């Protein structure tokens, strides 16, 4: 299992992780180019660019075909910079990681219109943010020019359609059985949102243990119909966070899946006649 782990590392630590499966991150395109030059690209799962500087064009001719994730720290003010990054699609599969903060919807719509795939980065959104999330979900399900996935919507919708549960921790790349995040200080943890958290019982089974705690404490997860897919993801760090809005999102995806199945059956019936 240890050999199959993927390590999300600062580009400056590339030499210390040779031979491992890697996600390489940096705010500097120059540093990314240099670290990839020193790497076995077959071990690089993708690269995270943590900023949107003018010199991002350097990545166009470096490590072609290696997937690239562009992280928008402040999507409400940075979204317009995506225009200048569109050329990266000529040499890399590109995903834009967008935190769910006020104004994130503008960045999502622009990213999709430019043909970027999108990954939403969730914390514990309040009601105002959940309203924006539901608007973007409606856009994803019904927008005429949505040609790329928006995660986690895409994977969870597929999960409902195929009736195969998948953990949201996996979709978010925060399952420590699969991915470990190495902080800039060299600390091994689950993801950036867990930086500084001490794991007395180890990292590997954290998701399972945390879910069991939520169930045994008879919290909201105890009888939640979506627990097999969420796994308590939205109960961190505050276990008392209300998931009513999140459950509306999951229910919309479940209903959309059901509609898709019905439409397909109706189409197959017409084909038979």
Question: Taking 50 as the threshold, does the pLDDT of residue 11 lie above it?
Answer: yes
Cβ atoms within 10 Å, residue 144 = 6
- Among 171, 198, 224, the domain-final residue is 171
What's the average model confidence in pLDDT over 95-124? 97
Q: Which domain holds residue 124?
A: 2-171
- Among 110, 143, 171, the domain-final residue is 171
- Higher per-residue pLDDT: 200 or 59: 59
- Among 139, 171, 203, the domain-final residue is 171
- Sheet with 21-26, edge to edge strand ranges: 150-151, 117-121, 94-99, 68-71, 44-49, 21-26, 6-10, 179-182, 188-189
Report for 2-16, 89-103, 192-206: range of highest mean pLDDT: 89-103
Question: Taking 80 as the threshold, does the pLDDT of residue 234 lie above it?
Answer: yes
Domain match, 193 and 84 both = no
Domain match, 159 and 260 both = no
What is the count of structural domains for the chain? Answer: 2
Question: Taking 60 as the threshold, does the pLDDT of residue 269 lie above it?
Answer: no
Domain match, 206 and 106 both = no
What's the average model confidence in pLDDT over 190-214? 92
> What DSSP string describes 215-268?
HHTT-GGGG-TTHHHHTTGGGSS-TT---HHHHHHHHHHHHHHHHHHHHHHHHH
Only one residue has tokens 């794991």, namely 199
Domain match, 221 and 133 both = no
Domain match, 11 and 134 both = yes
pLDDT at 118: 98
pLDDT at 263: 62
Domain match, 218 and 259 both = yes
Domain-embedded: residue 122 = yes
Domain match, 186 and 86 both = no
């Amino acid at each position: 299992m240890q050999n199959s782990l993927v390590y999300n590392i600062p580009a400056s630590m590339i030499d210390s992780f040779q031979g491992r499966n890697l996600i390489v991150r940096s705010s500097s395109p120059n540093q990314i180019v240099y670290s990839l030059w020193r790497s076995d690209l077959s071990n690089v799962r993708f690269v995270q660019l943590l900023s949107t500087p003018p010199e991002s064009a350097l990545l166009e001719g470096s490590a072609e075909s290696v997937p690239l994730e562009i992280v928008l720290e402040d999507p409400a003010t940075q979204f317009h910079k995506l225009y200048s990054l569109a050329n990266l699609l000529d040499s890399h599969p590109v995903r834009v990681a967008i935190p769910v903060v006020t104004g994130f919807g503008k960045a999502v719509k622009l990213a999709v219109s430019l043909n970027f795939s999108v990954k939403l980065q969730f914390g514990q959104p309040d009601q105002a943010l959940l309203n924006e999330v539901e608007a973007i979900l409606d856009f994803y399900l019904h927008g005429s020019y949505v040609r790329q996935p928006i995660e986690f919507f895409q994977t969870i919708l597929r999960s409902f359609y195929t009736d195969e549960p998948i953990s949201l921790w996996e979709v978010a790349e925060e399952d420590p059985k699969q991915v470990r995040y190495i902080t800039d200080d060299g600390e091994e943890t689950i993801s950036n949102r867990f930086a500084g958290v001490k794991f007395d019982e180890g990292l590997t089974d954290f998701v399972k243990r945390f879910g069991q705690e939520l169930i045994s404490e008879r919290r909201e997860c105890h009888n939640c119909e979506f627990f097999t897919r969420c796994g308590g993801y939205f109960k961190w760090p505050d276990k008392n966070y209300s998931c009513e809005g999140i459950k509306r999102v999951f229910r919309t995806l479940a209903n959309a899946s059901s509609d898709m199945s019905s439409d397909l059956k109706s189409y197959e019936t017409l084909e038979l006649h």
